Amino acid sequence: MSEYPARPEGLRFLSGIILVSADPARLVTFYRDILGVPLVDERHDDTEPHWACELGDVHFAIHPEADYPGEATTPGAVKLAFMVFDLDAQIEWLTTHGVELCYPPTPFGAQSRITAVRDPDGNLIELTELGPSWLNHLKENRAAGGDLIASWTAHLPPSGG
């Protein structure tokens, strides 16, 4: 018998990724202006000004260290992977803007390719051009309950009106 109580549910969805930086404006310039992440200025509750957007169903944000006092923020400790539709075009854009690849584009499975760069804080950023088999995997995952909107809707109370 387990010493832990029964878990109410398994975690199936990632709701957010928050990068914390000593120089968030520099990091935003890289992610927004170089990588093309659609970050916008945001401020709410008692947080410092920060930048955020939705990437698919995931909230992506960059915050200053002041929003996380006492928390360890080790530069280079994060590894992110972004899907791109045209890896060659992305590499050309990055090279034009002085961003060096960590390694040349490499096959990733039978139909995909991958490379990586480092952001200004030293975090590894993988750029993956996923092949058709990944699309099929995602479709199968959604059909098996991996659709955030469908799952959330199923947990809402019935409307009385």
Residue 120, pLDDT > 90, answer yes
Q: Give the integer Cα–Cα distance in Å for 110 and 124.
A: 23
CA angle 81, 25, 18 (to 5 degrees): 40
In the chain, the number of structural domains is 2
The verdict on 144 and 93 lying in the same domain is yes
The DSSP string of the chain is --SSPPPS-------EEEEEESSHHHHHIIIIIII----EEE--TTPPSEEEEEETTEEEEEEEGGGSTT----TT--EEEEE-S-HHHHHHHHHHTTPPPSEEEEEETTTEEEEEEE-TT--EEEEEE--HHHHHHHHHHHHTT--HHHHHHHHSPPP--
Q: CB of 50 within 8 A of CB of 43?
A: yes
Rounded Cα–Cα distance for residues 46 and 74 (Å): 23
55, 121: one domain: no
pLDDT per position as a tens digit, 18-42: 999 999 999 999 999 999 999 999 9
**Model pLDDT, residue 160:** 56
Mean of the per-residue pLDDT values of the chain: 89
Q: State the residue range of the domain holding 56.
A: 13-68
What CATH number is given to the structural domain containing 131? 3.30.720.110
Q: For 59-110, write each residue's pLDDT tens digit.
A: 999 999 988 888 877 878 889 999 999 999 999 999 999 999 999 999 988 8
What is the reported pLDDT for 117?
96
pLDDT: is 74 or 53 the higher one?
Answer: 53
Do 64 and 99 fall within a single domain? no
Same domain, residue pair 94 and 123:
yes
- The first and second tokens of residue 6, run together, are 């029964």
Looking at the structure, tell me whether residues 90 and 156 fall in a common domain. yes
CATH number of the domain within which 37 lies? 3.10.180.10
* Confidence band for 1, pLDDT divided at 50, 70 and 90: low
pLDDT of residue 2: 64
Would you say residue 151 lies in a domain? yes
Q: Residue 144 has what pLDDT?
A: 87
Cα separation, 80 vs 17, whole angstroms: 9
